[in-house]
Amino acid sequence: MKINKQFILGFALLSLLFTGCDTRNEQEVAYEFTLGDSVTRNFKGSVVDENHNAVANATIKMGGFTTTSDSNGQFTLASVPVLERFAYLTAEKSGYIIGSRVTMPHEGENNMVIMLLPENVVATIPTGQASNVILPNSVKLSFDGAFVTENGAAYNGNVDVIVNHLAANDPDVFIKMPGTLLGTRTDGTLSGMETYGMINVELRGSNNEELQIQPGHVVDMVLPIAENQLDTAPATIPLWFFNETSGLWEEQGFSRKVGNKYFGAVSHFTWWNNDYAYVVATLFVTVKNSDLSPVNGVRVTITRQAGSTGDVLMDLGVTGVNGTLSAGVPRNEVLIFRAFNSFGILINQQVLPSSPALQRYVDIIIPTVDRVSNAAIRK
312 and 264 together in one domain: no
Q: What's the mean pLDDT in 180-203?
A: 88
271 and 360 together in one domain: no
- Considering the domain boundaries, does residue 258 fall inside one? yes
Q: How buried is 318 (Cβ within 10 angstroms: 0-12 exposed, 13-18 middle, 19+ buried)?
A: buried
265 and 294 together in one domain: no
238 and 348 together in one domain: no
Q: What is the pLDDT of residue 311?
A: 52
Answer yes or no: are the C-beta atoms of 36 and 76 closer than 8 Å: no
Q: What is the pTM of this model?
A: 0.81
pLDDT top residue among 49 and 21: 49
pLDDT digits (tens, 9 = 90+) for 359-378: 899 999 988 654 544 444 44
Domain boundary among 261, 278, 295: 278
Domain boundary among 278, 309, 324: 278
223 and 165 together in one domain: yes
274 and 294 together in one domain: no
pLDDT digits (tens, 9 = 90+) for 139-191: 999 999 999 999 999 999 999 999 999 999 898 988 999 998 888 889 887 78
Q: What is the pLDDT of residue 131?
A: 98
Pairing of strands 280-289, 359-366: parallel
Answer yes or no: are the C-beta atoms of 232 and 308 closer than 8 Å: yes
72 and 104 together in one domain: yes
135 and 163 together in one domain: yes
The residues that bridge with 96 in the sheet, in sequence order, are 118
- Considering the domain boundaries, does residue 142 fall inside one? yes
pLDDT top residue among 170 and 56: 56
Q: What's the mean pLDDT in 216-230?
A: 94
313 and 270 together in one domain: no
354 and 290 together in one domain: yes
CATH classification at residue 310: 2.60.130.10
pLDDT digits (tens, 9 = 90+) for 33-54: 456 789 999 999 999 999 999 9
Taking the C-alpha atoms of residue 157 and residue 328, their distance in angstroms, rounded to an integer, is 47
274 and 286 together in one domain: no
The answer to whether residue 280 scores a pLDDT higher than 80 is no
**Which residue segment(s) compose the domain that 44 sits in?**
38-83+86-115
pLDDT digits (tens, 9 = 90+) for 301-315: 888 776 554 455 677
284 and 260 together in one domain: no
